[in-house]
Copies of this chain bind each other. A is one copy, B any other.
Amino acid sequence: MPLPQTEMPGRLQAHFADRGIRMTQQRRAILRVMETTTKHLDAAQLLRKAQRLDASVDRSTVYRTLKLLKRHGLIDELDLMHIHGEGHYYERKLNRDHIHMACLRCGKIMEFVSDIFEKLKGQVEKDCRFRIVVSRLEIGGYCAACRGAE
């Protein structure tokens, strides 16, 4: 089951335009980082990368924009087992949901797309009569390379 590919770039900015959400210099920088990065970024990393595109971007703007993106269902917030500190990680929400696995030994983060996961969500919606808006499956354990060594 392969990794989901990045959607076409500019998608986040397009969403903002469609809904008449104001586009600013700073938001453009932040959205561009979220659109082009392949990794899971925390707020501090996102700030640093965005500042490379627009040096004026402030920490509080990053947090305010993350909140906005969350409210619009455009990004997912992850803990990744809090492998480094107490903060959160962010990633664009793609067409297809995926699972996150974090290796407790080497810290590697893996992603996995599964039909069974989709079926499970369907079961929750049906059996619990629960309308799912966001779902997060995070697994901690030992990756193939680290199994054996504790």
Contacts and interface: CB of A to CB of B under 8 A. Distances in A.
A57 to B, nearest CB: 22
A23 interface: no
B139 A124 contact: yes
Interface in A84-107: 99, 101, 103-104
Interface stretch (A31-39, A43-51, A111-119): A111-119
A74 interface: no
Nearest to A111: B128
A138 interface: yes
A127 B117 CA distance: 14
A72 to B, nearest CB: 14
B139 A132 contact: yes
